[in-house]
């Protein structure tokens, strides 16, 4: 093995060791690899729309009952912490009490919207089912028509004597 | 971070006629620079290239498909591609489940003995005991299980991703994504645009890549189809054949075709006398869709319908040779573009064997079958009946169309595909090994 090959191998081994320790792809390529993309709903197919609506509804459900929790307010300060937390909680409790009625209305609205979306989705699904049934019936009729049309053509192009046979026997 | 660009050691060696020993410190320096500015992987790729440029080894290529462990048209495409490159590259086939060289030989009639097979199991799917590794399960709140494959891709000069899975981030210097259809829109873990080249299998696929991914694929390569028999004049039987996978979702529309044949049998038995409808195709074990079809056929034993599941290639060839008409309705009543045939390899196989195709008028099938010239394209079961009856009644038309079908299908022959593949990869090799065009 020449010097060049040895040097390349040595450098590769060094990098191999480093690579083996790295489990994050972004660190390997020294850049962010994950991005966010828009959802072009107007371009979606029916199948994609169904998935999209399902995902949206489940995220609405998560946010449906959202109300800030004042118990989450804490402080790490030893002496000043308790009064600060007390004041903050008292302030927020008073404020929330005044906006509670508004929040309740908002939650009620959210619930109604969610229910309405589900109802509309159900109606669409029923309509699609009915449309599918009608399409199948039309398809059945078209198939029968295709067979009948061909049967007729077959009769028309049947044997010559049969084709020219008079339908009414002539009077003697 | 260094402000200057890394030195092109390969080029400086060539220009200044430096011997290898003089260049060694520069190589080490360049590796260091690249490592800092572009990451360790880029530095590693630089060394891999150096090995190839200095003729220390053959260039390496890995081809990955998460579905290599079962029969499929897309998998045949990727494997035929690498079979044409076995002499130029040191090839590794990366699969996620156990698969053997013999399987590839049985399924696709391909000798890949010069290629290595490496199985990388993905714990996410192993835990779920999934036979079919569906990337659709991977959402942004799940850690990307395909990162294991990404890491592996960094060990090769060229990485070819043949799977319908753009969640594999390519780390190799040159990467190729073979897109059989853009199933997903860009969302979490979307890396299709990070590949050096994107190849597509039909104009239909190219059109949807532009619509969904907003870029134009670099290369359009129709799949290789090599089903034409060396023997000619084999006797044709009164068979209608369908060859398609029995997808559990029924996307290949076998049920609809059975219904149509049964209707014809019921409504006009005289015209169907002597005709048999054969449905051949691969299937996973415990396929409820297939079980339902088997039930229907068992309940109607007098209908002359036969199912041939996972048949070996020799039997499939005989079926093509003996049959007269080919039915393919994949896409019928589907609204989603992904569920319409992206190309239609089995249709070409049938045409190469002088069968007259009657296929769904949509997707890639429009590029294969020219209506009235070498087959028929239909948009409903009624039209399928119409053209089938026409063929039953007109033997001269069958002869004429079958001849034209074979001529058209020859444009997709494997030799032509291999020729195009070699030209494409020669260009890649040239780019990779030329110090003049060196870019890190």
* Average confidence (pLDDT) per 10 residues, chain B, 440 residues: 54 54 73 91 93 91 94 89 95 95 90 95 86 78 91 96 93 96 91 96 96 95 88 86 94 95 92 94 92 94 92 91 96 90 94 97 96 96 95 94 96 94 94 62
**Residue B228 near residue B352, CB atoms below 8 Å:** yes
Q: Give pLDDT, residue B284.
A: 85
**Residue B403 near residue B374, CB atoms below 8 Å:** no
Encoded tokens for B347 = 């249709």
Return all residues near B356 (Cβ < 8 A) that are at least 6 apart: B324, B325, B326, B374, B375, B376, B391, B398, B401, B402, B405
**Residue B322 near residue B353, CB atoms below 8 Å:** no
In the sheet with B60-64, reading across from the earlier edge strand, the strands are: B116-119, B90-95, B60-64, B158-161, B174-179, B197-200, B219-220
CB-based contact A34 B28, cutoff 8 Å: no
**Residue B377 near residue B257, CB atoms below 8 Å:** no
Q: Which CATH superfamily groups domain B60-223+415-435?
A: Glycogen Phosphorylase B; (3.40.50.2000)
Q: Give pLDDT, residue A168.
A: 53
A15 touching B (Cβ < 8 Å): yes
CB-based contact A45 B50, cutoff 8 Å: no
**Residue B171 near residue A28, CB atoms below 8 Å:** yes
Taking Cα atoms as reference points, which of B173, B315, B334, B266 lies closest to residue A147? B266
CA distance B271 to B264: 8
Q: Give pLDDT, residue B3.
A: 43
Q: Give pLDDT, residue A105.
A: 84
The domain B239-412: what is its CATH number? 3.40.50.2000
Three-state secondary structure of B110-136: CCCCCCEEEECCCHHHHHCCCCCCCHH
CB-based contact B267 A147, cutoff 8 Å: yes
Three-state secondary structure of B5-49: CCCCHHHHHHHCCCCHHHHHHHHHHHHHHHHHHHCHHHHHHHHHH
Q: By CA distance, what is A140's nearest residue in B?
A: B382
**Residue B87 near residue B178, CB atoms below 8 Å:** no
Q: Give pLDDT, residue B18.
A: 47
Determine the 3-state secondary structure of B233 from DSSP. coil
pLDDT greater at residue B63 or residue A158: B63
**φ/ψ bin of B275: left (φ > 0), alpha (ψ from -120 to 50), beta (otherwise):** beta
Residues in chain B: 440
| Most A-contacting residue of B13, B28, B37, B47 (CB-CB within 10 A), to test interface | B47
CA distance A111 to A118: 11
CB-based contact B381 A33, cutoff 8 Å: no
The backbone torsions φ and ψ at residue B210, rounded to the nearest 5 degrees and listed phi first, read -65, -40
* H or E element at residue B290: helix B288-299
Nearest to B40 among A19, A34, A154 (CB): A19
Contact list in A for residue B188 (CB cut-off 8 A) is 34
CB-based contact A3 B333, cutoff 8 Å: no
Per-domain residue ranges of chain B = 5-57, 60-223+415-435, 239-412
Residue whose pair of structure tokens reads 């249709």 in the numeric block:
B347
Q: Give pLDDT, residue B1.
A: 39
Q: Give pLDDT, residue B440.
A: 41
Return all residues near A90 (Cβ < 8 A) that are at least 6 apart: none
Count other Cβ atoms within 10 Å, centred on residue A158: 10
Q: Give pLDDT, residue B334.
A: 87
Beta strand segments in B173-318, E = 174-179, 197-200, 219-220, 239-243, 276-281, 305-309
A101-118: burial string, b at 16+ Cβ within 10 Å, e else: eeeeeeeeebeeeeeeee
In this prediction the ipTM stands at 0.76
Contact list in A for residue B335 (CB cut-off 8 A) is 45-47
Q: Give pLDDT, residue B439.
A: 45
Summarize pLDDT for A50-95 with one digit per residue, the tens.
888 888 887 777 655 556 677 778 888 878 888 888 888 888 888 8
CA distance B94 to B91: 10
**Residue B35 near residue B43, CB atoms below 8 Å:** yes
The backbone torsions φ and ψ at residue B232, rounded to the nearest 5 degrees and listed phi first, read -120, 165
CB-based contact A4 B24, cutoff 8 Å: yes
Q: Give pLDDT, residue A50.
A: 86
Contact list in B for residue A152 (CB cut-off 8 A) is none
CA distance B248 to B257: 16
Q: How confident is the model at residue A110 (pLDDT cuts 50, 70, 90)?
A: confident
Domains B60-223+415-435 and B239-412 share a fold: yes
A42 CA: distance to closest CA in chain B (Å) = 12
Return all residues near B41 (Cβ < 8 A) that are at least 6 apart: A19, A28, A29, B154, B171
Residue whose pair of structure tokens reads 């339908």 in the numeric block:
A167
Q: Give pLDDT, residue B151.
A: 95
The mean pLDDT of A149-170, rounded to a whole number, is: 67
Q: Give pLDDT, residue B100.
A: 95
The β-bridge partners of B279 are: B242, B307
Summarize pLDDT for A130-148 with one digit per residue, the tens.
999 999 999 999 999 999 9
A114 CA: distance to closest CA in chain B (Å) = 23
Taking Cα atoms as reference points, which of A113, A4, A145 lies closest to residue B20? A4
| Most A-contacting residue of B41, B57, B175, B339 (CB-CB within 10 A), to test interface | B41
Encoded tokens for B341 = 């045939």
CB-based contact A15 B40, cutoff 8 Å: yes
What is the CA B332 to chain-centroid distance, rounded?
A: 22
CA distance B292 to B87: 47
A135 touching B (Cβ < 8 Å): yes
User: How many Cα atoms are found within 13 Å in the side-chain-facing hemisphere of B369?
Assistant: 33
CB-based contact A37 B190, cutoff 8 Å: yes
Kindly report whether the global pTM for this prediction surpasses the value 0.80: yes
């Amino acid at each position: 093995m020449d010097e060049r090959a040895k040097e390349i191998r040595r450098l590769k081994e060094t990098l191999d060791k480093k690579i083996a320790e790295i489990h994050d792809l972004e660190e390997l390529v020294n850049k962010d690899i994950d991005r966010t993309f828009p959802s072009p709903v107007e371009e979606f197919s029916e199948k994609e729309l169904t998935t999209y609506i399902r995902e949206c509804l489940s995220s609405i459900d998560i946010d449906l009952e959202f109300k800030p929790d004042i118990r989450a307010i804490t402080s790490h300060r030893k002496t000043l912490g308790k009064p600060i937390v007390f004041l903050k909680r008292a302030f927020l409790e008073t404020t929330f009490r005044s906006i509670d009625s508004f929040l309740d209305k908002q939650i009620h609205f959210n619930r109604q919207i969610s229910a309405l979306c589900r109802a509309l989705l159900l109606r669409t699904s029923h309509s699609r089912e009915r449309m599918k049934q009608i399409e199948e019936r039309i398809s059945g009729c078209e198939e029968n028509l295709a067979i009948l049309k061909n049967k007729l053509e077959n009769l028309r192009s049947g044997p010559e004597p049969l084709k020219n046979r008079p339908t009414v026997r002539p009077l003697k | 971070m260094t402000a200057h660009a890394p030195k092109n050691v390969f080029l400086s060696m060539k220009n200044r006629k430096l011997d290898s020993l003089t260049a060694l410190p520069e190589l080490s320096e360049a590796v260091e620079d690249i490592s800092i500015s572009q990451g360790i992987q880029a530095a590693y790729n630089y060394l891999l290239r150096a090995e190839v440029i200095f003729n220390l080894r053959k260039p390496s290529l890995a081809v990955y498909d998460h579905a290599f462990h079962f029969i499929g048209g897309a998998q045949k495409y990727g494997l035929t591609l690498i079979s044409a490159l076995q002499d130029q590259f040191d090839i590794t086939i990366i699969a996620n489940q156990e698969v053997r060289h013999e399987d590839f030989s049985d399924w696709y009639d391909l000798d890949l003995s010069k290629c290595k097979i490496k199985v990388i199991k993905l714990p996410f799917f192993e835990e779920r005991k999934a036979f079919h590794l569906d990337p659709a399960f991977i959402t942004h709140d799940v850690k990307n299980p395909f990162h294991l494959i990404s890491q592996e891709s960094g060990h090769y000069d060229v990485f070819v991703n043949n799977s319908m899975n753009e969640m594999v981030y390519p780390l190799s210097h040159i990467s190729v994504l073979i897109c059989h259809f853009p199933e997903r829109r860009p969302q979490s873990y979307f890396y299709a645009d990070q590949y050096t080249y994107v190849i597509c299998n039909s104009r239909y696929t190219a059109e949807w890549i532009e619509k969904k991914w907003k870029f134009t694929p670099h290369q359009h390569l129709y799949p290789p189809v090599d089903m034409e028999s060396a023997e000619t004049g084999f006797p044709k039987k009164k068979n209608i054949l369908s060859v398609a996978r029995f997808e559990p979702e029924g996307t290949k529309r076998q049920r609809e075709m059975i219904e149509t044949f049964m209707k014809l049998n019921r409504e006009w038995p005289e015209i169907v006398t002597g005709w048999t409808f054969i449905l051949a195709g691969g299937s996973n074990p415990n396929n409820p869709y297939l079980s339902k079809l088997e039930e229907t056929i068992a309940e109607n034993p007098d209908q002359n319908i036969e199912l041939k599941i996972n048949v070996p290639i020799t039997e499939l060839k005989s079926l093509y040779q003996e049959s007269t008409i080919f039915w393919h309705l994949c896409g019928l009543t589907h609204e989603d573009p992904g569920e319409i045939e992206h190309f239609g390899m089995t249709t070409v196989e049938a045409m190469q064997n002088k069968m007259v195709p009657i296929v769904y008028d949509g997707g890639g099938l429009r590029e294969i079958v020219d209506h009235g010239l070498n087959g028929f394209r239909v948009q409903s079961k009624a039209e399928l009946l119409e053209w089938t009856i026409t063929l039953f009644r007109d033997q001269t038309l069958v002869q004429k169309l079958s001849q034209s079908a074979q001529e058209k299908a020859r444009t997709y022959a494997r030799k032509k595909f291999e020729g195009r593949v070699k030209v494409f990869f020669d260009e890649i090799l040239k780019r990779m090994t030329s110090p003049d065009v060196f870019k890190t």
